[in-house]
A = this chain, B = another copy of it.
């Protein structure tokens, strides 16, 4: 076998099958039916022996159809993001598209670079879980006719479907549950809200409605990975509300992780001091007596995002999903049992 036996081309298949390029092209395209049975078998055979595979690059060049979708993920190491990515990927496959996943590590610069790349590869649609505010580049895609869907986070001045959790409902459900369980004071812990519309919405909703649930409340922002500032906020909170039944509500999975560590550092008994988090994680059931969470329907969110895109790419293949905003599911565990 030669060192680099070039990938075989459509022409070689055609020759070996005693047919023309066009016929082979049709065979691999959407018009296989229109070829005579005899030709079909000849081509199939030839392609088989040569191990031929149409070159997507060349294909895309001609029709402008890359059959590629791009996805921007702010933090791939977040299990929640992974779960959604998984849904997105499944859906892509289903529609016959491939997916280029780009992780930005919450860095706007990487985000810019990745968007350029995705453009260069002619993706036909974009699922964006933004890190910064790449409105400039997103508009670029839009004006080129490339559909975009926003995942979990909005981007200023970019009009596109936003698929994700119903944040108001989530906060409301959490507050209701905590109130029901008899907690009287709640501390809301969130990661820095600047870069994420979702964090902002949850935080705001919390501040606006905690009172209506008859709860005293405070908020604290996580500044570093250790939550040093929040440790302080937490002790202060507990001191201030000594006479109340206290609980902490975590704005997302990462907050839950950090706060759980804090609880252990302070030796707080889970439940007596309530703990609840948005995002369900593998281990929430494992930390005794179990951490109560609000689970997001991640697969559905991912699938829906792709469906939005497909609806605009191939309107006949997918209809516009009716719901873009999803309700969480309450998973009750011991950490909110007094």
Task: Give A residues with C-beta under 8 Å from B.
Answer: 1, 3-7, 51, 53-58, 60-61, 66, 76-77, 79, 82-83, 85-86, 89, 93, 98-103, 110, 113, 116-117, 119-122, 140, 143-145, 257, 260-261, 264, 281-283, 285-288
Contacts and interface: CB of A to CB of B under 8 A. Distances in A.
Contacts of A6: 144
Contacts of A89: 76, 103
A252 to B, nearest CB: 14
Contact of A53 (B55, B66, B93, B116): B116
Contact of A286 (B61, B101, B143, B283): B283
A5 B286 CA distance: 54
Given A121-B98, A287-B283, A77 B86 contact: yes
Contacts of A60: 57
Contact of A120 (B51, B55, B102, B281): B55
A120 B286 contact: no
Contacts of A77: 79, 82-83, 86
7 contacts: A53-B119, A55-B122, A57-B57, A57-B122, A76-B89, A257-B282, A261-B285
A175 to B, nearest CB: 25
Contacts of A145: 3-5
B86 A56 contact: no
A7 B98 contact: no
Given A7-B144, A89-B103, A283 B285 contact: no
A5 B141 CA distance: 10
